[in-house]
Structures are given as C-alpha cells and as structure tokens.
C-alpha cells in the first residue's frame, strides 16, 4: 500500500511538472536550456561537488573516528541515492550510514548516530537559510504578498525544524533504533548492543564540532544559490546575488517540506515558478533552471550510486567466499 501511494505521488508529481513545463512554453524552455549549454552545466556540477565536499567535512566533524575520505565518499553516495533512487524517504541517509561502515572502521551504531546528528544540523542550517531567503524576497512583495509568503515559509520550515527536534528526543531515538534493528534483522545484518540516544547526545555535547558543522552546512547551502546564479547568467536571465539566494533557499525549503513526494517531482518545478514569478523571472527560464538542477543530479549522482552498488557487491562476494 505504501509503495502504491508513493507511486501515485510520483506520477502526480511528474504530471504536474509536465503541465508546468507546457504552461511555461516548451520551445522557450528548450531555448533557455540550450543557452546554458554543456559548459554552464559543468560549472553548476563543479559548484555542487564543492558543496558536497563541505557537507562531507561537516559530517566528518561530528563522527567518532571515521576517516575524512570515507565521509566525503559516503556523503556523495547519500546525495546520489537521495536524488536518483530515493523513492522512500530517508533512503539516502540510511545508505550513506551503511556506506560509512563499509568505507571506514566506524561501527554501525557510531555511523547511525553521526548521520542523525549531521542530518539534524543540516536541517537547522537549512531553516536559517530559508529565513534569510525570505528576508531577501521581501523587497519584491507588497503587504498582502509578504503575509502570504510568510505563512508559506512558516509551513515549509516547520518540518525542517522538526527533524532537528526529533534528533534530540530520546523517545524518538529509541523508537528509531528499534525500527532500524528490525530492518537490519530482515536484511540479515547482525546488530550489537548499542544505545543510540546516548551516542547522539554525546555528539551534541561537542559544542565546537557542532558549530563547525553548522557553519560548513550553511556555506554548502549558499553554494546552491551560486549554482542558480551561474545557470541564470548562462541563459541570459541574470539574477542578483540576493535574488539567487531567495530562489535557491525557498525552492530547497519546498523540497524538504514535501519530502514524501518521490524525487520532489513537480514540487521543485512549482517552487521555481512561484518564487521566480515573485522575482519577475520568465516562466520558461524558471523551468529551465529546475531542469538544469535535475541534469546536475544525474551527472553527479549516477557515478555515486554505481560506486555504492560495486562496493556492496564486492562486500557480498567476499562474504560468500569465506
């Protein structure tokens, strides 16, 4: 039933995205994409790789003895899995925690605790970034529009803040551990004696590391705005820095708020259209920006997912040969 509901949500999102693209004008959208070209896409991808590097450093800051390279590779895998095979919410986070145990000496418990804290800090950074994005959008809005957008921002920020709150709640962490252990048993993975809530709270006591992780994640979110700025410039629809931050921040908040929609199908395109309209952007250019980010996700994510499958396959083969 859950898979059926997810499939329906995905198909509805795809239909919405297609309808929005038609509404914006397919010819104009294709011309905008052509104007960006392969060079523009390469610039966007390089900026995204830089952002992922910062996110990997942020994760490494809150781990217990995990190697930096393992954190960087596992964070890359998380991004690829979330964007390409993320039909189930949080599948990318689960896969990346597993990857951290494969590529480093971290135990499954330590990897899970560090992943929970990292995701929570990233959510907090996103909430702060969303507020900044809304403030930068305000000059483009009149009184009624500002109130309407304020309500939208509040609704999209609440789920993000809930992620951070849940990560600090012992009852929620205990329930999450029970579910995780059941899933591990189904997958044939042996679980050890580990108290997830204690491990998570021990990480939160490391104030300087939490602060460093938050700063790195904020910088990573800011690089999302840089990607939009570069892509818009390539299609001769230049945006100011403040407008690029507003667009990137609010679209990302919409994606997070509607995380149950697989691949944010339709959500991302709708966000670009709505925020782009407030900024005075041409609808075709807004849809083209969304498609550029979709292409970026495939270019960067596909190799990461392949590496993960190969690593798991190699691990399984070694287990069989023993």
Helix, strand counts (H, E) of the chain: 12, 0
**269-308 burial by CB neighbour count: b if 16+ within 10 A, else e?**
bbbbbbbbebbebbbbbbbbbbbbbbbbbeebbeebbebb
Nearest to 39 by CA among 235, 290, 287, 302: 235
Asked if 160 and 130 touch (Cβ cutoff 8 Å), the reply is yes
Task: Round to the nearest angstrom and report the end-to-end CA distance of the chain.
Answer: 39
- In the predicted model, what is the mean pLDDT of the chain? 82
Please indicate whether residue 59 or residue 319 has the higher confidence score (pLDDT).
Answer: 59
C-alpha R_g of the chain: 20
Nearest to 113 by CA among 67, 161, 66, 55: 66
Quick check: 135 pLDDT over 90? yes
> How far apart (Å, rounded) are the C-alpha atoms in residues 106 and 124?
25
Digit-coded pLDDT (tens) for 163-185: 777 777 666 666 666 655 554 44
> How far apart (Å, rounded) are the C-alpha atoms in residues 151 and 111?
37
Q: Which two tokens stand for residue 103?
A: 């590529």
- pLDDT, residue 74, reads 94
Highest mean pLDDT among 38-47, 147-156, 162-171, 189-198 belongs to 38-47
Digit-coded pLDDT (tens) for 115-124: 989 999 999 9
- pLDDT, residue 249, reads 94
- Mean pLDDT over residues 68-83, rounded? 93
Please indicate whether residue 123 or residue 9 has the higher confidence score (pLDDT).
Answer: 123
Nearest to 228 by CA among 243, 211, 209: 243
- The C-alpha angle 90, 222, 292, rounded to 5 degrees, equals 70
Q: In the chain, what percentage of residues exceed pLDDT 70? A: 78
User: Which of 12-26, 146-160, 277-291, 302-316 is least confident?
Assistant: 12-26
Quick check: 290 pLDDT over 60? yes
Quick check: 230 pLDDT over 80? yes
Asked if 153 and 131 touch (Cβ cutoff 8 Å), the reply is yes
Q: What is the pTM of this model?
A: 0.85
User: Where exactly are the structural domains of the chain?
Assistant: 37-321
> How far apart (Å, rounded) are the C-alpha atoms in residues 306 and 300?
11
Asked if 44 and 231 touch (Cβ cutoff 8 Å), the reply is yes
Residue 198 CB neighbour total at 10 angstroms? 12
| Residue located via tokens 């023993």 | 322
User: Which of 22-26, 285-289, 299-303 is least confident?
Assistant: 22-26
- Mean pLDDT over residues 70-82, rounded? 93
Quick check: 186 pLDDT over 50? no
Asked if 47 and 226 touch (Cβ cutoff 8 Å), the reply is yes
- Mean pLDDT over residues 302-308, rounded? 91
Digit-coded pLDDT (tens) for 93-115: 888 988 898 888 778 878 888 99
């Amino acid at each position: 039933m859950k898979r059926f509901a997810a499939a329906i949500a995905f198909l509805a999102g795809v239909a919405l995205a297609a309808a929005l693209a038609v509404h914006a004008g397919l010819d104009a959208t294709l011309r905008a994409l052509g104007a960006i070209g392969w060079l523009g896409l390469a610039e966007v991808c390089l900026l995204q790789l830089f952002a992922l590097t910062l996110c990997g450093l942020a994760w490494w800051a809150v781990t217990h003895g995990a190697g930096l390279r393992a954190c960087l590779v596992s964070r890359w895998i998380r991004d690829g899995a979330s964007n390409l095979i993320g039909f189930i919410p949080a599948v990318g986070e689960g896969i990346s925690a597993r990857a951290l145990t494969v590529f480093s000496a971290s135990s499954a418990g330590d990897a899970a605790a560090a992943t929970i804290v990292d995701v929570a800090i990233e959510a907090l950074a996103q909430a702060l970034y969303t507020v900044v994005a809304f403030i930068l959008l305000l000059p483009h809005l009149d009184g009624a529009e500002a109130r309407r957008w304020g309500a939208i921002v509040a609704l999209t920020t609440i789920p993000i803040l809930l992620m951070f709150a849940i990560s600090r709640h012992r009852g929620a962490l205990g329930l999450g551990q029970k579910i995780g252990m059941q899933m591990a048993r189904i997958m044939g993975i042996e679980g050890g004696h580990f108290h997830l809530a204690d491990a998570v709270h021990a990480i939160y006591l490391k104030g300087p590391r939490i602060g460093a992780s938050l700063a790195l994640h904020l910088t990573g979110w800011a690089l999302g705005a840089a990607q939009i700025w570069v892509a818009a410039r390539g299609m001769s629809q230049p945006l100011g820095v403040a407008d690029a931050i507003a667009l990137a921040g609010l679209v990302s908040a919409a994606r997070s708020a509607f995380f149950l929609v697989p691949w944010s199908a339709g959500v991302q395109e709708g966000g670009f259209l709505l925020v782009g309209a407030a900024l005075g952007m041409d609808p075709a250019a807004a849809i083209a920006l969304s498609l550029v980010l979709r292409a970026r996700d495939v270019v960067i994510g596909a190799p990461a997912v392949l590496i993960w499958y190969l690593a798991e396959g190699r691990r399984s083969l070694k287990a069989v040969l023993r």
